[in-house]
Every structure is written in structure tokens, then in C-alpha cells.
């Protein structure tokens, strides 16, 4: 009997020490999940584009995730808050996320932004300048390969002040495009700011970057740049020690069951 008690007390002490170690680790190593989405579509629309499966979440799944964030008291950040946190100017609750969308799909405007407004949440959309200036239709037809127009971006600014419009390059969203002289990369950055939106926040096209690209961003006074990958699946949370120009994101573009999504956000990495 005595031995059983000793074992039980040993187990309880071990569990308590593990819990203390976990919370100490979290306190000493604060991390923020930067979520990366791409397209949002109904299940029927998504089924029509199997080749886009990895980059499309269903509207229902997306709303479930937002409901989860709201129900569990998550704060949705602005890029200013992330920047100030990185630079030690503010602390943020463990339950904080930065919601981001890449590429500027029309589906974001049609499905995602109204839901974000409904749940009173902030988000960032990284748009590609030349995609915005293509002749896109503004009406939603169920074609998930269409992008927002300049006119729609104006509406976003008016109707959805909770959405930040940032740069995914003007015309570097193509294979090998960043393998150019720094002066060309800087031109691309400046054209985006002149023609699409004045910003200092960037997401690398396809997550690819190099020394020239980072220097081009620094010299054009950009202050944050986000990665994507290295895998198509999740990556990891951002820390204060990450370079401002190499911020990792958690890729949730393909959708994720809500229990797994919740569990993933709780993980300290
Ligand atoms: Zn992209």
C-alpha cells in the first residue's frame, strides 16, 4: 500500500512539474501564429477545381475556424501590433493570431471579408499588382481563379476597414522572377506602392526570397516580410527572434478540421 502511495505522489509531482515547465516555456518564449490562407469557396465550387485543393478552404470550414477563435477568446492582430510586439514595445496574449490571405482572390471579397466583419476580426490580404490590374469580372461567378479589381479594393477600404491591403509584389508572382538585379526588385516594390496601395508590409511570392530581395525591401522602407513554406503544410509560429524579413506562417490554406485547428494553435511551436 505504501509503495502505491509513493508511486501516485511521484506521478502527481511529475505532472505538476511538467505543467509548470510548459507555462514557463511559453512565458519565456512568446510566439504568435500567423495564419496563411489563399482561396475560400463553397464545397461545390472547390470540387470544380481539384488542382486548387491545397489552396482552398471551404466557406463552412473557414467560418467554423472563426467561430472557434471567437469562442476561445483569440485576439486577431493588425500588422502594427505584430511589429510592436516583435520589437518588445507591447506584449500580446498567448491567444493571438494574425490572419493573412495571399494572392488577392475575388473569393476573399465575396466570402471571407463579410465573415471577418461578422465576427469583428482583423486580417491582411497580400495582393499581386498585375493580377489586380487584369480585366477581372467583379461579379462572383463561382470561378475561384479570378482576382479582385482596383475598384473592389476601393470598396474593401470603404466597407472593410478591418482588412489591411499589403503587397505580394507588382509582377514578381511568377517562376524565377526574384532572380533579378536589386534595382529591378526595388522598382517592382515602388510600382506596387504607387499604383495599388501604399504599404510597408510584404509577403514573398511563393515564399521565395534571397539577399537581394531582403535588401530591396529594406531600402524601400518596408518593415515586415512574410514567408510561406518551406512545406505546403503547416510551418511554425513566429518569435521575436525571427528576422523582420523572414517571418514564418502556419499554412492553413487547405482547410483543417476545427478540433485540429484549435489544438495546433495551442501548441507552443
Ligand atoms: Zn502567392
**Can you give the CATH number for the domain in which 174 is found?**
3.20.20.370
11 lies in some domain: no
Q: Is a pLDDT exceeding 90 seen at residue 69?
A: yes
* Ranges of H-type helices in the chain: 2-28, 43-47, 59-71, 79-86, 106-107, 113-118, 129-132, 150-159, 182-195, 211-219, 258-266
Range of the domain at 237: 32-266
3 lies in a domain? Answer: no
Cα of 208 vs centre of ligand 1, distance in Å, is 10
Distance 103 CA to ligand 1 centre (A): 5
Gyration radius from the chain CA atoms: 21
% of residues, the chain, pLDDT over 90: 88
**Which residue is listed with cell 493580377?**
131
Ligand 1 centre distance from Cα of residue 174 (Å) = 9
- Pairing relationship of beta strands 238-239 and 31-37 according to DSSP bridges: antiparallel
Please report whether residue 26 resides in a domain. Answer: no
Measured in Å, residue 68 CA sits from the centre of ligand 1 at: 26
Q: Tell me how far apart the alpha carbons of residues 104 and 102 are, in angstroms, rounded to a whole number.
A: 6
| 257: exposed, middle or buried (Cβ count in 10 Å: 0-12, 13-18, 19+) | exposed
pLDDT confidence band for 193 (50 / 70 / 90): very high
Measured in Å, residue 168 CA sits from the centre of ligand 1 at 7
Q: The pTM is what?
A: 0.94
Distance 26 CA to ligand 1 centre (A): 31
Residue 38 domain-assigned?
yes
Q: Is residue 191 part of a domain?
A: yes
pLDDT at 18: 87
For 198, the grid coordinates are 501604399
Predicted confidence at residue 250, as pLDDT, reads: 96
Domain count, the chain: 1
Answer yes or no: is 163 within a domain: yes
Q: What pLDDT shows up at residue 1?
A: 64
- With respect to residue 213, please indicate whether it lies within any of the assigned structural domains: yes
Q: How far is the CA of 233 from the centre of ligand 1 (A)?
A: 15
Tally of residues, the chain = 269
Average pLDDT of the segment spanning 231-240: 86
The pLDDT value recorded for residue 28 is 77
Q: Look at residue 117 and give its three-state secondary structure.
A: helix
Checking if the pLDDT of 181 tops 80, the result is: yes
Burial of 194 (0-12, 13-18, 19+ CB in 10 A): exposed
Place of cell 471567437: 70
Residue 21 falls inside a structural domain: no
CA 132–ligand 1 middle distance (angstroms): 13
Average pLDDT, the chain: 95
Amino acid at each position: 500500500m505504501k509503495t502505491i502511495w509513493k508511486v501516485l505522489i511521484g506521478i502527481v509531482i511529475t505532472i505538476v512539474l511538467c505543467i509548470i515547465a510548459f507555462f514557463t516555456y511559453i512565458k519565456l518564449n512568446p510566439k504568435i501564429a500567423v495564419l496563411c490562407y489563399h482561396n475560400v469557396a463553397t464545397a461545390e465550387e472547390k470540387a470544380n477545381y481539384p488542382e486548387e485543393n491545397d489552396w482552398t478552404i471551404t466557406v463552412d470550414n473557414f467560418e467554423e475556424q472563426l467561430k472557434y477563435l471567437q469562442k476561445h477568446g483569440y485576439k486577431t492582430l493588425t500588422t502594427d501590433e505584430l511589429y510592436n510586439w516583435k520589437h518588445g514595445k507591447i506584449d500580446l496574449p498567448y491567444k493571438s493570431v494574425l490572419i493573412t490571405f495571399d494572392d488577392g482572390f475575388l473569393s476573399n471579397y465575396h466570402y471571407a471579408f463579410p465573415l471577418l466583419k461578422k465576427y469583428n476580426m482583423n486580417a491582411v490580404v497580400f495582393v499581386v499588382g498585375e493580377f489586380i490590374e487584369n480585366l477581372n469580372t467583379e461579379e462572383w461567378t463561382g470561378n475561384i481563379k479570378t482576382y479582385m479589381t482596383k475598384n473592389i479594393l476601393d470598396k474593401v477600404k470603404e466597407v472593410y476597414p478591418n482588412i489591411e491591403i499589403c503587397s505580394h509584389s507588382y509582377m514578381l508572382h511568377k517562376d524565377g522572377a526574384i532572380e533579378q538585379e536589386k534595382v529591378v526588385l526595388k522598382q517592382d516594390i515602388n510600382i506596387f506602392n504607387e499604383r495599388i496601395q501604399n504599404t510597408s508590409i510584404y509577403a514573398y511570392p511563393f515564399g521565395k526570397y534571397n539577399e537581394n530581395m531582403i535588401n530591396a525591401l529594406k531600402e524601400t522602407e518596408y518593415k515586415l516580410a512574410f514567408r510561406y513554406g518551406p512545406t505546403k503544410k503547416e510551418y511554425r509560429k513566429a518569435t521575436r527572434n525571427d528576422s523582420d524579413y523572414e517571418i514564418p506562417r502556419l499554412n492553413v490554406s487547405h482547410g483543417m478540421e476545427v478540433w485540429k485547428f484549435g489544438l495546433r494553435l495551442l501548441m507552443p511551436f
